[in-house]
Structure 1
Amino acid sequence: MAFSDPAPRAALAEINITPLVDVMLVLLVIFMVTAPLLSRPINLILPQPRPIDQRRVDPPPQLLLQVDVDGGYRLDDRPMTLGQLRTQLEEAHVSDPKTVLQVQSASGAEYQQMVTALAVAEASGFDQISLRQ
């Protein structure tokens, strides 16, 4: 008995595209179902702008705290001590919490006096403090 080698087989180099076609068909169905849902209008009620004269907002009241060269304090051009300053600032903050405190230091004033004024203003409850030059 002679065994003979069968004819050499060629390598099969084809890709099975059936799973690829299945995935593509599923994606096509998903897009066909969701496309009409994405094009629906959304019912919104947007806020309308007010007329110009109703949009005007009164600016908040402002106080000017000045630190003098000699270490004194002036609140709206009234000289006062540190204790008086704190009570005046507390009263001003209680009367209108939106009050803006502007702090201005003289050019030769000590830095510590400025820091003390800011600390008193913060302890009085002011959260809107601006520094002026």
Structure 2
Amino acid sequence: MAFSAPASRRELAEINITPLVDVMLVLLVIFMVTAPLLSRPIDAQLPQPVPDAQRVPPNDLVLKLGLAGDYTLDDRPVSLAELRVRLEDARIADPETVLQVEASAGADYQQLVSALAQAHASGIGHIVMRD
């Protein structure tokens, strides 16, 4: 005895997309409700650029170290003891003073370190080494 299913009762192999559409519509409603809440403007005050006429360039000092260990600050000879006093005066006059240090190729390293120590002790915060 053989059992067979009638030809009219075949199974349909199709995906039911109705629950998928329902879920997508619910998500769409949730996103539509929450999107305006997430796009609030932020109250912030951004810094405004300063016009070039109001900008004052920092005071640049050039310290040169010669081969013989002599120091010149802005093309004027200066001793190591006097260097600190002159740098302190420049820093007090303009806190943004930039010291540009330029040493000769064969200059003594200890002389350069001594000059940098005096610059640091004077409170100069911006020191630039040049060729």
Shared fold by TM > 0.5?
yes
Q: Tell me by how many angstroms 1:20 deviates.
A: 4.7
Q: How many Å separate the matches in 2 of 1:47 and 1:96? A: 24
Q: How many Å separate the matches in 2 of 1:46 and 1:80? A: 46
Residues 1:48 and 1:92: Cα distance change in structure 2 (over 3 Å)? closer
Q: How many Å separate the matches in 2 of 1:99 and 1:76? A: 13
Partner of 1:26: 26
Partner of 1:123: 121
Partner of 2:8: none
Partner of 1:67: 65
Q: Tell me by how many angstroms 1:121 deviates.
A: 1.0
Q: Tell me by how many angstroms 1:85 deviates.
A: 0.8
Q: Tell me by how many angstroms 1:47 deviates.
A: 7.3
Partner of 2:52: 55
Structure 2: 5+ residue stretches without partners? 1-12
Q: Which amino acid aligns with 1:93?
A: R
Residues 1:55 and 1:108: Cα distance change in structure 2 (over 3 Å)? same
Report SS of the residue matched to 1:55.
coil
TM-score by length of 2: 0.68
Report SS of the residue matched to 2:91.
helix
Q: Tell me by how many angstroms 1:94 deviates.
A: 1.2
Q: Which amino acid aligns with 2:110?
A: Q
Counterparts of 1:37-48 in structure 2 under 5 Å? 37=36, 42=41
Q: Tell me by how many angstroms 1:16 deviates.
A: 8.3
TM-score by length of 1: 0.67
Q: Tell me by how many angstroms 1:18 deviates.
A: 7.5
Residues 1:43 and 1:85: Cα distance change in structure 2 (over 3 Å)? closer
Q: Which amino acid aligns with 1:28?
A: L
Q: Tell me by how many angstroms 1:26 deviates.
A: 2.4
Q: Tell me by how many angstroms 1:114 deviates.
A: 1.4
Q: How many matched pairs?
A: 126
Q: How many Å separate the matches in 2 of 1:125 and 1:47? A: 29
